[in-house]
Amino acid sequence: MTDRTSADPGAQSARADIASLGEDPFRLLVESVQDYAIFLLDTQGRIVTWNAGARRIKGYEAHEIIGRSFETFYPAEAIAAAWPQQELRAATRHGCFEDEGWRLRKDGSRFWASVIITALHDRSGRLVGFAKVTRDLTERRRHEEDLRRREEQVRLLVDAVKDYAIFLVDADGRVQTWNAGASALTGYEVGDVLDRHFGMFYTPPEVAAGEPARDLARALDEGRSERERWHLRKDRTMFWSGTVLTPVFDEAGGLRGYALVVRDLTDPKRLLELEHSNRRMSQFLATLAHELRNPLAPIRNAVSVLGVHTAFPQQLGAVRDVIDRQLGQLTRLVDDLLDIGRIATGKIRLDRLRLDYREVVQSSVDAIVPLAQAHGHRISLSLPDAPLPMIGDATRLAQSLQNLLNNAVRYTPEGGDIRVEVQREGSDSITRVSDNGRGIPRHELERIFELFSQVDAGEAPALQGLGIGLNLARTLVEQHGGTLSADSPGRGLGSVFTMKLPVHEAASAAAESSCEPASQAPAANRVLVIDDNRDSADTMVQVLQLLGQEARGAYGAEDGLRVAKSFRPRIVLLDLNMPDGDGFSVMRRLREQSGESLYVAAMTGYGQASDRRRTLDAGFQAHLTKPVNAERLRELLTTAAAPARAAARWSA
């Protein structure tokens, strides 16, 4: 057969170039390979040759290893089992042997190796040795083990859930997995449902109306389908269910199927009206309190005007003081009603600032002194000499403490003693409000904090309030990260209320900024977080808001570009790996869209030096490695906010 390249001048020239090397080109090829250990063994398994990849992977220089048995690379347990020789015998018998397993480097460390051993024969068919190719797959195995472990953890978690039916269906709606909660909820065992259409749980009218297919289509179009409806059990009884149907995609974006989470809401549905009634009551209280504040304002103004005039007859001055005290009580009651309504609707907000808690206590006691004196009570106060720095809402803390003091005044007989003692214990401030009043039965110590709770209602009607003060006080204390508890030896033996609040060192400016919500401080910058992982994006937005930023999240490349047009951020924290676009291209498009002044930081799980160089060379001003700690984030925000330094690049 004629060599077609013999007449090709280019091919002849290439051959001449290779021949000019004066060495076997195939040997040069093998010796230069870096990612694979490629070497020869004689028939007894002794090493004959050694390439650069073998040196890099195994750590031996050629003169250290040539002539030694290839068993050198095997763990002791493999040698004890005569596994290396078994590999050679298998390669001799079948011509080739492939395996994966642990091997040893020169320093004794292990690596997971992919091994191919090929038997070599001369032209007469006589075995003359073996060729061995080894590849280091340690990282791949680690990733596979991590993935397997995570999948196993998820499977165990899902299987262990008893209150929710959690299962997968394929793209056509056929059941593929089944957990214990699904069996408990529907009565079907796994063998009853696998490969059957999930429409089997729908009522016949809904099946006839095509609801199962419509739910799948809605989930695919909208990203999820969340419904409440009647579903059927195996025994054909019905239960009211809450169902969430979510599409599942593979790495390439192809539809793998759908995840279904089903919960039995039959009992909650029966209680729905009661919940609505409670909600309406809370809304009514909030509305009532709000409306009552309108007439209270001019009354307070009028009392203030009267307080300016000191020439009142003594009797009228006493009447004015009564009005002032009772107006204070009524105002506190209205505020409590309004706050209960806010708490019930989730609208209460704290204005967190740095404060000395001693000042809050002092002002609270001063405010209650007139009421206590009117009842003939003696109030004593003990405060520490050193400041008690906190991050909190002074008004709300005072409101909580005044409710405790008002409670002590109300339930302590005329001429009683009320003591307020504040001390520091470790990182906490402990406030104890004690009295020698009516006391609290042991079995009522927790119930008194329930909303509208009345202890011994009817026993002393004049002493009964609305039962909201202690509930509100505990709620506000807990929103400050503290606790509020009560103790009493029993009826007639007085009571002690203990309020524990966390102390923040005065020098800890970080504590202030991390605790202050964005809604209470002007936004320093508009920050956009672009990350296809919703949990990652949303939690980062929350952290930024706590740091005083006006932050918004976007869930992918295209979504990020769209949000950026309307939000017009000053800073962007950008994930690098997203299904619909890599961070490098998104960064360039953001700059085209928003201008070169936009500060863009890469936010990624890759944190090697080469990764940082790559992002910075590509034009990112910073490189944040996940998870990003608050201190690094503050540094970046400070750098980005300073125009003179914004161009300086840094990495974290």
Query: Could you read off the pLDDT of 251-289 as tens digits, one per residue?
Result: 888 999 998 888 888 776 666 665 666 666 666 655 565
Name the band, by pLDDT with cuts 50, 70 and 90, for residue 625: confident
| The pLDDT value given to residue 511 | 38
How many residues are present in the chain?
A: 652
Segment holding 540, helix H or strand E: helix 534-546
> Residue 196: phi, psi to the nearest 5?
-95, 155
Residue 187 has pLDDT above 50, yes or no: yes
Structure-block tokens of residue 433: 């409000």
* pLDDT value at 291 more than 60: no
For the chain, how long is the longest CA-to-CA vector? 133
To the nearest whole number, what is the mean pLDDT of the chain? 80
**Quick one: pLDDT band at residue 639, thresholds 50, 70, 90?**
confident
From 15-24, 134-143, 328-337, the region with the lowest mean pLDDT = 15-24
Full-prediction pTM beyond 0.85? Answer: no
Residues 13 and 184: their CA atoms lie apart, in Å, by 77
Residue 98 has pLDDT above 90, yes or no: yes
Q: How far apart, in whole angstroms, are the C-alpha atoms of residue 580 and residue 575?
A: 12
**Alpha-carbon dihedral of residues 516, 518, 519, 521, nearest 10 degrees?**
70
50: pLDDT strictly greater than 60: yes
DSSP assignment letter at 257: E
Q: What is the mean pLDDT of residues 444-467?
A: 64
**% of residues, the chain, pLDDT over 90:** 37
pLDDT tens digit sequence for 460-511: 444 555 567 788 889 889 988 999 999 999 888 999 999 999 998 753 443 3
Strand blocks (E) in 503-630: 526-530, 550-554, 571-574, 599-604, 622-625
Q: Which of 35-49, 68-82, 301-315, 434-448 has the lowest mean pLDDT?
A: 301-315
**Token pair 């040539």 in the structure block, residue:** 66
What is the spatial distance between Cα 118 and Cα 98, in angstroms, rounded to a whole number? Answer: 9
- Give me the mean pLDDT over the 117-137 stretch: 92
